[in-house]
Amino acid sequence: DIVMTQSPDSLAVSLGERATINCKSSQSVLHSSNNKNHLAWYQQKPGQPPKLLIYWASTRESGVPDRFSGSGSGADFTLTISSLQAEDVAVYSCQQYYSTPYTFGQGTKLEI
Distance CA 111, CA 105 (A): 18
100 binds other proteins (CB under 8 A): yes
Stretch that binds other proteins, among 19-27, 67-75, 81-89, 100-108 (CB under 8 A): 100-108
* Shortest separation between residue 101's beta carbon and other proteins, angstroms: 4
Side chain identity at 55, as an amino acid letter?
A: Y
52 binds other proteins (CB under 8 A): yes
| Residues with Cβ within 8 Å of residue 91, at least 6 apart in sequence | 43, 44, 45, 107, 108, 109, 110
106 binds other proteins (CB under 8 A): yes
- Residue 105 contacts residue 49 (beta carbons within 8 Å): no
Interaction site with other proteins (CB under 8 A): 1, 38, 40, 42, 44, 48-52, 55, 61, 93, 95, 97, 100-107
